[in-house]
Amino acid sequence: MHRTPIDAPIGGSDRRLFLAGMAAFAGAAGAAGAAGAASAPQVAVPGAAPAPGGAPHRHSFRLSAVAPQLVTPAGTRTQATVREFPALRGMSLYKLAIEPGCFREPHWHANADELGYCTAGELIVTMFSTGNQRDMFRVQAGEMYLVPSGSFHSLENVGPGRAEVIAAFSHESPEDFGLSGAVGSMSAPVMGNAWGMEASELDGIVRRPVDIVFGRSDGAADPPPPAAANRWKFGVEAVKPMIVNDFGSARLARADAWPALRTQSMYSLRLKGTGMREPHWHPETAEMGYVLAGRSRMTIKSPHDGPASVDTYELGPGDMYFIPKGYPHHIENLVSDELRFLIFFDRSMPEDIGYTGGIPTFPRRIVAPTLGVTEAELPRYPDVASDAMIVRKRNPVAP
C-alpha cells in the first residue's frame, strides 16, 4: 500500500521549526549516548562496532570484521550467536559461503527455525520434514527459504560462482546436528539394522561423531528443478513493496504473504539518500538487522534513564544490530547511495508503532509540558492518522 510521506500534510515555518527541533534532539541524544559510552564500563567483544571514541556499542556488531569461525575448502561459516554478540535474545545469524560444486551437508537445528536469504549465486535446497514430506527447490539471489526446527535439509551450490546466504535463527544459540556426525555416532551393526544390510558392508563409512559441515559433491549436480512454487520458498524481492514512497520502500516476508512462517519474518528495506525510517518501536517483537549496502546511523533508547540509555552508532556493509522488544529506534541513510537492510523479526507478523502517528494521538495540552514547552510554543506537527514509516530526510546530517 502507498504511505504518505510526513512532509505532505503541512509545510512552512512551523514544520521547519518542528523538524529542526527534532534534529537537535537527535543530535543531543547522540552526543549523550557517546558520553555515556565513554563513562560506562565496556567489555571488548570481537566484532562489536566501535563508537567514535573506540568503545564498542552494545546493540551493534561488525560481522564483517570477524574471521569465519569455520573455514574449509568447500565453504565457510561466520556466526553471530549470543557468544559473539551478547545482546542477542531469541535470534542469531550465520553468514554462509559455499564454493561451486560444494554443499552444506544435510543437517537440522534442534532448537531453531532457519530463515535464509540468498545474497549471491544459485542453490538447491533439499528438505525432509515431518510426515515424510520431501521438498527440493532452487533459490537465487533475492529469494528466501524457510526450514522449520528439526527438519533435515541441505544447501547445494549449483551455480558457476560462490553462493552466499544470510541465515537468521529463532534462538540466540542454535544447535546443529549434521548427517556425518549423526551417522558416525552409531555403530555399524546399528546402521546395518536400520538399512537392512550386513554391518560389514558399512566398513568404508567414516565413524566419528564430528560433522564435516561442508563438502564437495561427488559428481555433477542433477539439473535444478524447474522454478515452481514451494511453501518453503519466497521471492521477496519479486513482490510489490507494501510500503513505498519517494524516499524508500519495504518488501515484506511475513505470514500474511508467506503462510509457512511461524516464528520469524523479514523486511527488505531500501532507503534512498533522501530517506529515513522514522523513530518507532515494535511491541512484543525483537529486531535483528544486517546491512547489505550503504552507510547508516541508528539511535536506540534503553529503558533506564540517563545519558548511558542512548546508543547511537553507524553501520556499513556487513554490520548487524539487535533491538530488544519495544525499544525505540530509527534508521537514517548517511550518504546519497541507496541503503539496503535485511531486517529480521522474532514474530511472523511484527507490529509497529511510530512517532508520526503516535504523538498526535495525545492532546497538545499533554504533549507540550511533556516536551518542556507551553502549548503555544509547541510546533504544529502533522496530525496524521497513521505512521509515515519512511520519511524525507530534509535536514542536514547531524555531525
The domain spanning residue 368 has which CATH number? 2.60.120.10
Q: Reduced to 3 states, what is the DSSP secondary structure of residue 307?
A: helix
Q: How many domains does the chain have?
A: 2
- pLDDT confidence bin for 225, thresholds 50/70/90: low
Is residue 397 in some structural domain? no
Q: What is the pLDDT of residue 34?
A: 36
Residue 31 has pLDDT above 80, yes or no: no
| Bridge partners (DSSP) listed for residue 311 | 300
Is residue 399 in some structural domain? no
From residue 108, how far is each of 83, 128, 132 by CA, in Å?
20, 10, 15
Q: How far apart are CA 169 and CA 174, in angstroms?
A: 7
Same domain? 81 vs 225: yes
Is residue 341 in some structural domain? yes
Same domain? 263 vs 249: yes
Q: How far apart are CA 373 and CA 113, in angstroms?
A: 49
Same domain? 146 vs 207: yes
Domain carrying residue 327: 12-61+240-392
Q: What is the pLDDT of residue 224?
A: 65
Q: How many helices (H) and strands (E) does the chain have?
A: 5, 26
Q: How far apart are CA 191 and CA 196, in angstroms?
A: 8
Is residue 3 in some structural domain? no
Q: What is the pLDDT of residue 33?
A: 37
Is residue 190 in some structural domain? yes
For the stretch 45-99, pLDDT in tens is 456 555 433 346 889 999 999 999 999 999 999 999 999 999 999 999 999 999 9
- Phi, psi (5° rounding) for residue 147? -125, 115
Same domain? 51 vs 186: no
Same domain? 211 vs 77: yes
Same domain? 210 vs 137: yes
Residue 26 has pLDDT above 60, yes or no: no
Same domain? 365 vs 228: no
Name the least confident of 39-43, 216-220, 225-229, 239-243: 39-43
Same domain? 193 vs 140: yes
Residue 5: how many CA atoms within 13 Å on its side-chain side? Answer: 16
Is residue 376 in some structural domain? yes
Last residue of a domain, one of 234, 261, 285: 234
C-alpha closest to that of 39 among 307, 311, 314: 307
Q: Reduced to 3 states, what is the DSSP secondary structure of residue 92?
A: strand
Same domain? 80 vs 218: yes
Q: How far apart are CA 373 and CA 367, in angstroms?
A: 9
C-alpha cell read off for 357: 502517528
Q: Could you tell me if 128 and 107 are in contact, meaning their C-beta atoms sit under 8 angstroms apart? A: no
Question: The whole model's pTM is what?
Answer: 0.86
CA dihedral 57, 60, 63, 67 (to 10 degrees): 30
Q: Could you identify the residue written with the cell 524457510?
A: 146
Is residue 5 in some structural domain? no
For the stretch 287-318, pLDDT in tens is 999 999 999 999 999 998 888 899 999 999 99
Q: What is the pLDDT of residue 35?
A: 34
Q: How far apart are CA 322 and CA 300, in angstroms?
A: 10
- Summarize the confidence of residues 243-264 as an average pLDDT: 97
Last residue of a domain, one of 177, 205, 234: 234
- Summarize the confidence of residues 247-271 as an average pLDDT: 98
For the stretch 319-355, pLDDT in tens is 999 999 999 999 999 999 999 999 999 999 999 999 9
- Summarize the confidence of residues 214-223 as an average pLDDT: 89
Same domain? 387 vs 301: yes
- pLDDT confidence bin for 23, thresholds 50/70/90: very low
| Bridge partners (DSSP) listed for residue 338 | none
Sign of CA dihedral 232, 63, 28, 7: negative
Same domain? 228 vs 287: no
User: How large a percentage of the chain has pLDDT more than 90?
Assistant: 80
Other Cβ atoms less than 10 A from the Cβ of 256: the count is 11
Is residue 398 in some structural domain? no
Same domain? 262 vs 362: yes
Last residue of a domain, one of 184, 202, 234: 234
